Amino acid sequence: MNPLLTDDAVADLPLHDARAALLAEILRTPAPAGRRVPIAVASAAAVAAAAAVVGLVVTLPGSDADRAPDQATTGVAASGAAEPRPITSIRGDLVSATDWTVVYTRLTVPELAQGGSDAAARPVAAATVRMTSDETDRDVVLRGRPAESYEVWLRRLEARADAPATPVRVLGRSGLRLEFDGRTVLVAPPLHDRWWQVESVDATTAEVLALAGRAREAS
Amino acid sequence: MTTNETREQRFERLYVGHFDAVLGFAIRRTQRSEDAADATAETLLIAWRRLDHVPEGLAARPWLYGVARRVLANQHRGERRRTALGERLRRDLAAAWPDVAERVVHEQTVVGAMQRLSARDQEVLALHLWEGLAPQEICEVLGLPGAVVRPRLSRARARLRELLGEEPRPTIHPTVHVLTREIR
């Protein structure tokens, strides 16, 4: 770390050619166009009638035995293991983990409808999971949205993403990982009456994947 | 975007105006030249891809810092995505790295005191003291509301003041210089 190296000092570094070369390289990179990632979209018909309560069970970073069997697909180190073992409900017990401790999980009030097309996709459930380590805290937010909004919302997310979506494990089922400006958003397709969006403003991709890979939605 | 400016021209303007700031941001937060070069290349590539979402003028700076912060965070957690871009930058920055070390003004007292704070406090203080960002701009970088950032910054400054026995001064940062460069 070189904390007090100012931008002026950086500007004086002999990087003129490298600066120009990188600019030329980037400009040769095709600008993104709207794209549609071919995926098998779960049928919204899988919708059960309105379940009033968020049935989200969180299993969290812990021993290898707690890891989801297909977590390797998330890119997080994992070995084969049994089905994730629920440790706590989202309603808020403390959970210990190897590196992280969940301080709380909190159901939050869904945002109010903003009108227009967004009204159909407004969250019907939301939860914040705060994890803490010796050094810092992370908040991961899960938003459940109406199942019927999934297709439209997904296309919108894909259009904004930096790169095509990649398959990952999210809340116990096959989902998608999208990147926006280096930020990671995970999407779990519809189950029952809703689909889930998982993201964080401060957790890294690995941390979001670790949490989402160990959490599942209760039936 | 100014009238008749092409996408390429707008990006070039952004690149020229902010390259040093992005590279400086990365250098101040990494130990290795290749990490700083990679983070810079990836951040600017994201800006190119997402150019329509990059704010105009000086507001672009916090946006770029926010992207760089996330790129670096993933790098630190071992998710380094080495970009195919920027080989020349990696090479030339590695050659200049010893020179970088010589130019650093070691205010070890302040740096040492900051390292005794929590990671969150360090981050908000670094954005304020090293990058010279105002609280609202820090909100943009961190993606957090002012109600979270302002008290955090206030507490962090108070803790640093306790450790140092004096008010921490922002590192002189060439905001005016950058602004001038943008206008040219």
Retrieve residue B145's tokens: 């509301």
What pLDDT digit, counting tens, does each position of A2-22 carry? 556 777 788 888 898 999 999
Cβ contact A182–B88 (<8 Å): no
* Chain B residues 120-179 with CB within 8 Å of chain A: 120, 126, 130, 142-144, 171-174, 177-178
Burial of A70 (C-beta count, 10 Å sphere; 0-12/13-18/19+): middle
pLDDT given at position B60? 92
* Distance in angstroms (rounded) separating the CA atoms of residues B5 and B2: 6
Which candidate, A139, A137, A135, A133, places its Cα nearest to that of A106?
A139
* φ/ψ bin of B72: left (φ > 0), alpha (ψ from -120 to 50), beta (otherwise): alpha
Cβ-Cβ pairs closer than 8 A, A with B, add up to 158
Total length of chain A? 219
Retrieve residue A190's tokens: 């519809």
Pairing assessment for the beta strands A183-191 and A173-180 based on DSSP bridges: antiparallel
* Distance in angstroms (rounded) separating the CA atoms of residues A2 and B24: 9
Is A216 within 8 Å of A172 (Cβ atoms)? Answer: yes
Residue type, B57: G
Tell me if chain A has a CB within 8 Å of the CB of B54. no
What pLDDT digit, counting tens, does each position of A169-205 carry? 887 788 999 987 777 899 999 887 788 888 876 677 7
Burial of A121 (C-beta count, 10 Å sphere; 0-12/13-18/19+): buried
Cβ contact B15–A182 (<8 Å): no
Which candidate, B177, B85, B15, B77, places its Cα nearest to that of B69?
B77
* Distance in angstroms (rounded) separating the CA atoms of residues A53 and A172: 18
Tell me if chain B has a CB within 8 Å of the CB of A201. yes
Cβ contact B45–A26 (<8 Å): yes
Q: State yes or no: pLDDT of B23 exceeds 90.
A: yes
Q: What is the predicted ipTM?
A: 0.80
Question: Residue B82: CA atoms inside 13 Å, Cβ hemisphere, count?
Answer: 6
Q: Which residues contact A201 (CB under 8 A, 6 or more apart)?
A: A139, A183, B142, B143, B144
For residue B50, the SS3 value is coil
Chain A CA closest to residue B53: A160
Given a cut of 70, the residues of chain A with pLDDT beneath it are 1-4, 31-121, 125-128, 130-138, 201-202, 214-219
Chain A residues with beta carbon closer than 8 angstroms to that of B92: 14-15, 17-18
Is the overall model pTM greater than 0.95, yes or no?
no
Taking the alpha carbons at both ends of chain B, their separation in whole angstroms is: 15
Tell me phi and psi for residue A194, to 5 degrees. Answer: -155, 165
Chain A residues with beta carbon closer than 8 angstroms to that of B86: 18, 22, 25
